Amino acid sequence: MLPESYDAIVLGAGGAGLHCAAIAGQRGRHILVIDHANEPGKKILISGGGRCNFTNLGTTPDRFLSANPHFARSALARYTPADFIALVERHRIAWHEKTLGQLFCDGSARQIVAMLMDECAAGSVDLAFGNAITDVTHADARFRVTFGNRTATAPALVIATGGPSIPKIGATDFAYAIARHFRLKLVEPRPALVPLTLGVDELLFKSLSGVSAEVVVRCGKAAFREAALFTHRGLSGPAMLQISSYWRHSQAIDVDFLPDRAPGWLKDAKRARPRTTLQKLLGAALPERLAEVLASRLGLESELANITDARLLAAEQALAAWCFHPSGTEGFAKAEVTAGGISTAELSSKTLESVKLPGLYVIGEAMDVTGWLGGYNFQWAWASGWAAGQAI
Ligand SMILES: Cc1cc2nc3c(=O)[nH]c(=O)nc-3n(C[C@H](O)[C@H](O)[C@H](O)COP(=O)(O)OP(=O)(O)OC[C@H]3O[C@@H](n4cnc5c(N)ncnc54)[C@H](O)[C@@H]3O)c2cc1C
What pLDDT is stored for residue 28 in this prediction?
98
The residue ranking higher by pLDDT, 204 or 76, is: 76
Using a pLDDT cut of 90, give the percent of the chain over it. 96
* Choice from 43, 45, 194 to test ligand 1 binding pocket (greatest atom count within 8 A of CB): 43
Residue nearest to atom 26 of ligand 1 (CA): 364
Q: Rounded CA gap, 321 and 4, in Å? A: 61
Tell me the longest C-alpha to C-alpha distance in the chain: 88
What pLDDT is stored for residue 139 in this prediction?
97
What's the rounded mean pLDDT across residues 177-181? 97
Compute, in angstroms, the gap from residue 304 CA to the centroid of ligand 1: 52
331-348 burial by CB neighbour count: b if 16+ within 10 A, else e?
A: ebebbbbbbbbbbbebbb
Does pLDDT of 1 surpass 70?
no
What pLDDT is stored for residue 301 in this prediction?
87
pTM (global) more than 0.95:
yes
Compute, in angstroms, the gap from residue 41 CA to the centroid of ligand 1: 7
Q: For residue 55, give the ligand 1 atom closest to its CA.
A: 11
Q: Rounded CA gap, 4 and 145, in Å? A: 10
HSE-up (13 A, CA, CB side) for residue 355:
10
What pLDDT is stored for residue 59 in this prediction?
98
Does pLDDT of 49 surpass 90?
yes
Does pLDDT of 92 surpass 70?
yes
Of the pLDDT bands very low, low, confident and very high (cuts 50, 70, 90), residue 205 is confident
What's the rounded mean pLDDT across residues 172-198? 97
Please name which of 320, 284, 318 lies closest in space to residue 300, comparing C-alpha atoms. Answer: 318
pLDDT tens by residue, 222-234:
999 999 999 999 9
Exposed/middle/buried for residue 326 (C-beta within 10 Å: 0-12, 13-18, 19+): buried
Compute, in angstroms, the gap from residue 13 CA to the centroid of ligand 1: 9
Residues in the chain: 392
Does pLDDT of 175 surpass 80?
yes
Does pLDDT of 201 surpass 80?
no
Compute, in angstroms, the gap from residue 168 CA to the centroid of ligand 1: 12
pLDDT tens by residue, 312-351:
999 999 999 999 999 999 999 999 999 999 999 999 999 9
Compute, in angstroms, the gap from residue 80 CA to the centroid of ligand 1: 20
What's the rounded mean pLDDT across residues 290-318? 94
What's the rounded mean pLDDT across residues 22-27? 98
The residues lining ligand 1, judged by C-beta closer than 6 Å to any ligand atom, are: 11-17, 35-37, 42-43, 46-48, 52-53, 133, 160-162, 165-166, 170-172, 174, 336-337, 364-366, 375-378, 381
